[in-house]
């Protein structure tokens, strides 16, 4: 039986290398996104999206996923030290490519900022979704008027961009803006 693919390192806050998490919260704040359910792919040990969402008073709730044991442990410590953050921010350890849709709520914002960065052929052994199937899963979980966010500065954007562009065409989404390093899409009205 195949073992789950997971990230064998931890990612701190390296804004000069990967500003996507800060740009996600900047986007939410700049656009006044309030009282929203947010899904975030890749938490980092910094857990910026969850912490900032608690601090900025917009009332957004964040569900994050990480495939890093160290990042999951950092969340556990955060939840113990700052329970006010854990009220609106939950992060869990797992492989995003094997999420069961029926276990997920609907979201107003989905930030798939690490699309195509971690999917490997070895994951086929346990039935992992493809990157396109992952985008389709979250499209089905997106509330009307919701935002899909992708990171154009990703180390895998050259692979993710054609998937995102084809998905947008197939699913009826328009790129509504380029916000800093983020490509933001919404369903055509």
Determine, yes or no, domain membership for 38: yes
Q: Let me know: does 48 contact 25? Beta carbons within 8 Å.
A: yes
Asked whether the predicted pLDDT for residue 74 surpasses 70, the reply is yes
Mean pLDDT along residues 103-112: 98
Q: Let me know: does 111 contact 49? Beta carbons within 8 Å.
A: yes
Determine, yes or no, domain membership for 159: yes
Look at strands 142-151 and 182-187 and give their pairing: antiparallel
Residue with tokens 């699913």: 171
The domain total for the chain is 1
Asked whether the predicted pLDDT for residue 8 surpasses 70, the reply is no
Which of the pair, 187 or 17, is modelled with greater confidence? 187
pTM score: 0.93
Which domain, by its residues, includes 106? 20-187
**In the chain, pLDDT over 90 holds for what percent of residues?**
85
- DSSP class of residue 59? -
Q: What is the mean pLDDT of the chain?
A: 93
Q: Band the pLDDT of 60: cuts 50, 70, 90.
A: very high
Determine, yes or no, domain membership for 138: yes
Determine, yes or no, domain membership for 8: no
Determine, yes or no, domain membership for 11: no
Q: Let me know: does 167 contact 173? Beta carbons within 8 Å.
A: yes
CA distance 97 to 133: 9
Determine, yes or no, domain membership for 13: no
User: Any idea what the CATH number is for the domain that residue 41 is in?
Assistant: 3.40.50.150
Which of the pair, 7 or 157, is modelled with greater confidence? 157
CA distance 45 to 62: 15
Determine, yes or no, domain membership for 7: no
Which of the pair, 5 or 130, is modelled with greater confidence? 130
Determine, yes or no, domain membership for 176: yes
Q: Band the pLDDT of 2: cuts 50, 70, 90.
A: confident
């Amino acid at each position: 039986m195949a073992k789950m693919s997971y990230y064998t390192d931890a990612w701190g806050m390296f804004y000069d290398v990967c500003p996507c998490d800060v740009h996600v919260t900047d986007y939410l704040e700049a656009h006044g996104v309030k009282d929203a359910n947010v899904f975030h792919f890749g938490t980092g040990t910094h857990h910026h999206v969850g912490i900032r969402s608690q601090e900025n008073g917009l009332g957004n709730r964040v569900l994050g996923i990480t495939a890093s044991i160290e990042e999951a442990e950092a969340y556990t410590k955060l939840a113990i030290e700052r329970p006010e953050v854990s009220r609106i921010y939950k992060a869990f350890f797992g492989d995003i490519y094997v999420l069961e849709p029926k276990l997920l709520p609907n979201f107003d914002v989905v930030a798939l900022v690490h699309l195509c960065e971690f999917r490997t052929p070895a994951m086929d052994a346990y039935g992992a979704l493809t990157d396109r199937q992952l985008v389709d899963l979250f499209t089905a979980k997106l509330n009307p008027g919701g935002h899909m966010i992708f990171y154009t500065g990703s180390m895998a954007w050259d692979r993710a961009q054609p998937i995102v562009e084809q998905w947008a065409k197939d699913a009826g989404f328009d790129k509504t803006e380029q916000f800093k390093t983020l490509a933001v899409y919404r369903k055509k009205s």
